[in-house]
Amino acid sequence: MGRGLGPATARLTQMYDLLATTARARPDALALDDGARSWSYRELDQRVGAVAERLRALDVAGQVVALASETTGAGAVAAHAVLRAGAVLAPVNPRLTADELRPALDVLCPRLVLAAPEAWDRVLRADVRPVPLDALEGDDSDAPSRRAFPHAGWPTLPARARVILWTSGTGGRPRGVALTEANLAASIQGASARLALDATDRWLASLGLAHVGGLVLVLRAAATGALLVARGRFLADEAAALIEGGAVSHASLVPTMLKQLLDLIGDHPVPALRCLLVGGAVCPRPLLDAALDARLPLALTYGMTESTSQAATAEPELIRRKPGTVGTPLEGVELKVDETGEVYLRGPTVAAGYVGSELPLLDAAGWLPTGDLGELDEDGHLWITGRRSDRIVTGGVNVDPIEIEDVLRLHAGVSEAVVVGVPDERWGEVVAAAVVRSVGAYPDPGELEELTRTRLTTAKVPRRWLFLTELPRNASGKVDRDAVRQGFARA
């Protein structure tokens, strides 16, 4: 059982009222700390209300408003205000290039594009005249004019859509995922119950607003009455200082962030830290073991944009007993694994549909095919084993890259590794490994091949090797496996 969901959870049906509800119940509690100053819930509610009024004056109700910002104080205020103004919020990654941003905006057709300083030049290069975030909070004389995106029409949105998140495209062409108030409410309630979240929590906003986990965190903090610690783009040394100084008790991380933190924090206790929620990709077993050895309170989660972030989550106590599992589905979420090993989801957190794609979200039976591979153990706990699209078939043998990557990371000279399949005339595909060496280490293909050969069957031993200074990643920070395959093609 959780410790209670906070005062705002009684009215989760109106997402843009979450902040106002908590402000009435706990007006003097701290709501937001952006490093420059802190706001109480009363002050933050007033600040959001003023911005929402300015947005209403620009006729945004019922229309899409794009937001290009990191998770800063101003970005969080803008996200709340767009929803309160009755618009459809469409966060876009402020690190997208103009060439990536332009097609997204062509699909989203926003009434306005709100841009933070870190995104300003990129948005301008995408041939858009944005509204600066600071203009929304200035004096009346600084009020933004009517600056609309010059679209040719209006987007076709699923019914009741309130948020559209632009996907990174790792499973296909980039597209928007439409989330409803019911999706967001179910996600907030399910995660809050599973992790026992309450008003004493202090969350580091380490993921961007364009990441489903980052946006849901902003809304969930308001729902539970927690403090949101917003510093913008994740910086490991800054995050480590906040954690070690007791300024935060919770953080959402992807595995690369966890590794950076672990390198800085080491193995000394951090009493104020209650939960590090790790998701976005499978946590490599050596990294997981190192974090548990350092006594970090890890919770592993599995989900995606189409499931409004978390679909299954294993709380720290379970991770200590069964390292690697992502636990059971959240309340209301159904999960199954078919005969091929693919994970399917159904329930109130599953998105309303896609925007900018004719692909159906659900199969004929109403299930969301995730493209992820997994297994359910005897306790009903889910273990993610890879991506269907990443599976390698070599000589008729199915090979899942994660298993090989975990073995390669056991070598002290390997900092990172990614395994892909590359075309081969004889075998159809062969296993190929791209490796980033640890500082000062120079493992060669021979010793790495010997390591894998002693632990894996012959079909899983990499036949080709590529040594890189860093792994290519997309705008969401995930490893770009297509770019790795292209690297092998050029080698």
pLDDT, residue 179, reads 97
The C-alpha atoms of residue 205 and residue 355 are separated, in whole angstroms, by 27
User: pLDDT tens for residues 324-373?
Assistant: 999 999 999 999 999 999 999 999 999 999 998 888 999 999 999 999 99
Which CATH number is associated with domain 1-387? 3.40.50.12780
In the predicted structure, residue 164 carries a pLDDT above the cut 80: yes
User: pLDDT tens for residues 375-401?
Assistant: 999 999 999 988 888 889 888 788 889
Average pLDDT over residues 287-315: 95
pLDDT, residue 13, reads 38
Q: How confident is the model at residue 476 (pLDDT cuts 50, 70, 90)?
A: low
What is the percent of the chain with per-residue pLDDT over 70, rounded to a whole number?
A: 92
Spell out the domain ranges in the chain: 1-387, 391-490
Q: How confident is the model at residue 129 (pLDDT cuts 50, 70, 90)?
A: confident
Name the token pair of 231.
């510093």
User: pLDDT tens for residues 216-232?
Assistant: 999 999 999 999 999 99
Average pLDDT over residues 483-487: 94
In the predicted structure, residue 240 carries a pLDDT above the cut 60: yes
pLDDT, residue 172, reads 55
CB 219 within 8 A of CB 257: no
Average pLDDT over residues 203-218: 96
Which CATH number is associated with domain 391-490? 3.30.300.30
3-state DSSP assignment of residue 329: strand
> Do strands 464-468 and 202-204 pair parallel, antiparallel, or not at all (unpaired)?
unpaired
pLDDT, residue 159, reads 85
Same fold, 1-387 and 391-490: no
CB 252 within 8 A of CB 217: yes
**Taking the CB of residue 264, how many other CB atoms lie within 10 A of it?**
13
Average pLDDT over residues 150-173: 74
Q: Which residues, 6+ apart, have CB-to-CB distance to 163 below 8 Å?
A: 83, 88, 89, 90, 91, 178, 179, 184, 215
